[in-house]
Structure 1
Amino acid sequence: MTSIPLAEELLLLAYDDRTGKATGSRIGLDLGMAAAVLVDLALAGRVHYVDGYLKVTDASPIGDPIADAVLAKLAEAEPHTPAQWLQRLRHRLRTRVLEDLVTRGVVQDVDETQMGAIHVHRYPTTDHAYEVDIRKRLADALISDGICDERTAALATLLSACRMEPALRLPAEEVARAHDRLEQIATGAGFSGTANLEDSIVRPSVALVVATLGKAIQAALGTPKAV
């Protein structure tokens, strides 16, 4: 199956298939999705982390409307830190991603009126194929001690940074192990910022971007509760 943007993967994991409502931290998801767009640009070789800032090294589009719009914004603006870009990009990003998913028939926009005047939108899944593929990749990564690909390692790292372990829908007794494995994947990929990048399983340029974005998300969310 053709891969979809990482921001879409995070959103599909976070939204309940049946109720169409987001689960977990809303701010965590919004920050994670903003980071995911930047990670996709790093994976495509367009953005690098240089001297504390995210900088565009190749402004040519990658073919995704949202990522290309972000790339153009990065190319035109003064350099900003990863934390600054997360805050600048997270607003309305979820709405744009949901609109794209609705247009493609992946989720449905259910507009309900509550109390006679308040409109509430739900987004139940209509095409489960993408999410099935995402969850399979993550499940394989969680039960294996082996090395996973760059995209899956990046997704695992973002899930951990955003504290989205509940989105994995695991039994309560397995959540702590899943958290440890997600962190293990991040460390093995060089995404935790603690590993020697020469030993990273991914490109050092990508590892730097993911590591700095992960730290920025964690700083924005504050001290986590014990898992």
Structure 2
Amino acid sequence: MTAVALAEELLLLAYDDKSGKALGSRIGLDLGMAAAVLVDLALANRITFADGAIVVTDPTPTGEPIADEVLGRVAADTPHTPASWVQRLRHGLRDRVLADLCGQGVMQDVDETAMEGFVHVHRYPSVDPSVEAAIRGRLAAALTGAETPDERTAALAALVAAIRMEPRLGLDGEAAADVRRRLAAIGAGAGFGGSGSLDDSNVRPSVALVVEALTRAIATALGTRS
């Protein structure tokens, strides 16, 4: 697995670099990050989607603590639907992802606790902007058609679309106006939306099935499913 997990990539896109505050839907981000952990496990060949449920295909740890905890939970539990897992996993996940990014020196935890400690306020401004810049660069290249996205970037684009986070991509002009269509096209080309062919996709079918199932679960939870 990569040094920066998909859940961390989503969080970095959602948080303002200077204010250190999350922008957009909080519930959307939490659901998206929960799905992202499962997508990372699919990318690592640890889980798949079968018979309407997320199932473990290989219980071997990946070396990433959050993902391995989730892998253990899925392996030890009875089979659950993607919708059930994103709801189960979202609680407390944001704090763990923030702590990981602060530990890596990517973000900083600024404690602004006031009122004699009764109101706890934390901001998480960026410390190392190069990490987020690389994420945005991958997405921008995919959205502008400069290159065909790999399966990890295609999955990230699908999650961004599912939680309606495209305004955070910071694109200008025609690229900004056309971003939702391009996100949909990336998903279809990767075989996520049922309209594309997995035979022509550079995304493994096992990964595409997990991503499609999870993005549908998010859309249903947010009431955005058409």
The interval holding the TM-score normalised by the smaller chain is: over 0.9
Q: Distance in 2 between matches of 1:45 and 1:17?
A: 33
Q: Distance in 2 between matches of 1:30 and 1:135?
A: 20
1:60 matched residue in structure 2: 60
Which range is displaced more, 137-146 or 5-14? 137-146
2:20 matched residue in structure 1: 20
* Structure 1: runs of 5+ lacking an equivalent: none
| Counterparts of residues 129-148 of structure 1 (less than 5 Å) | 129-144=130-145, 146-148=147-149
1:141–1:148 CA contact under 8 A, matched in 2: yes
Look up the SS of the partner of 2:24 in the other structure: coil
Q: Distance in 2 between matches of 1:153 and 1:10?
A: 13
| Counterparts of residues 126-205 of structure 1 (less than 5 Å) | 126-144=127-145, 146-171=147-172, 174-205=175-206
Output the aligned Cα RMSD: 1.7
Q: Distance in 1 between matches of 2:62 and 2:142?
A: 27
TM-score when scaled to structure 1? 0.94
2:143–2:182 CA contact under 8 A, matched in 1: yes
1:38 matched residue in structure 2: 38
1:90 matched residue in structure 2: 90
Q: Using the TM superposition, give the Cα deviation of residue 166 of structure 1 relative to its aligned residue in structure 2, in angstroms.
A: 1.3
Q: Distance in 1 between matches of 2:136 and 2:200?
A: 27
Q: Distance in 2 between matches of 1:8 and 1:223?
A: 23
Q: Using the TM superposition, give the Cα deviation of residue 59 of structure 1 relative to its aligned residue in structure 2, in angstroms.
A: 0.2
Counterpart of 1:204, as a letter, is P
Q: Distance in 2 between matches of 1:140 and 1:20?
A: 26
Counterpart of 2:153, as a letter, is T
* Structure 2: runs of 5+ lacking an equivalent: none
Q: Distance in 2 between matches of 1:203 and 1:170?
A: 29
2:8 matched residue in structure 1: 8
Q: Distance in 1 between matches of 2:212 and 2:145?
A: 22
1:111 matched residue in structure 2: 111
Q: Using the TM superposition, give the Cα deviation of residue 199 of structure 1 relative to its aligned residue in structure 2, in angstroms.
A: 2.9
List structure 1 segments (4+ residues) > 6 angstroms apart after TM superposition.
none
2:189–2:197 CA contact under 8 A, matched in 1: no
Structure 1 residues 23 and 147, CA gap change in structure 2 (3 angstroms):
same
Which range is displaced more, 169-178 or 44-53? 169-178
TM-score when scaled to structure 2? 0.94
Structure 1 residues 73 and 14, CA gap change in structure 2 (3 angstroms):
same
